[in-house]
Amino acid sequence: MSAYAVETLQPSRAEMRALLIKVEEAASILIRVLGRRAVVDFLDLGSEEPLRAPGNLQSMLVEVRDRAAAASGSSALVDSKGQTKAGKGRASPKRGISAQTYCALFIAETWKHFRDGYPPPGNKQAQKAAEIYWQLSGGERQSWGNDNLSAWRRHFQNAAKADSVETRKLRAEFQRHLHESARLEAHASEDPSEGGT
């Protein structure tokens, strides 16, 4: 649910690109204006101390401007023609995964824990498990055509090829919880006084 909530708060690619362009423009204005001594003198009015190290501020603003320019033209936001990528997807740095892929990754790791291997992306049982988990987490129903589960194929494919440091940590964390749960369940079944069945 937290991955879904974070994703829904993310701006769209078009909104993020527009924000980054505004950041670049604002930084450029500040660089230009703060380069004028008269402006800095006026900024000192009403303050007991002068504006400290405007040079350092300027270099930081230059870095912000340059980073905003690079990010607004990055492949995470624009296509090969320099146009904002189409689609309703949210802006996300390349290293991130979507909430649906997060869900598919969780189901795939759970599947592997109980069945000694990952489900194929087109496996209907895994897709149905992902859909149920998604809806229980508050996600909206997805659908491609007449088959409401087929949208999950892409997310299972993305989960299978996701190999960033972040996703390796997620996989390890999911497996740790599954192993700990299995250990606690085995311990509880050995000692019925602790609530096992």
143-177 pLDDT tens trace: 555 667 888 998 999 888 887 777 888 889 888 98
Q: How far apart are CA 5 and CA 111, in angstroms?
A: 25
> pTM for the complete prediction?
0.55
| Amino acid in position 66 | D
> How does pLDDT run across 108-141, given as a tens digit for each residue?
999 998 888 999 999 999 999 999 888 888 777 6
12: DSSP letter: B
Give the residue from 11, 150, 21 showing the smallest Cα distance to 90: 11
Q: What does the alpha-carbon distance between residue 182 and residue 113 come to, in Å, rounded to a whole number?
A: 10
Q: Where are the alpha helices (DSSP H) in 35-123?
A: 37-43, 54-72, 99-115
Bigger pLDDT: 108 or 7? 108
- Quick one: average pLDDT of 34-63? 80
Tens digits of per-residue pLDDT, 54-106? Answer: 567 788 888 999 999 988 888 777 788 888 877 666 666 655 677 888 889 99
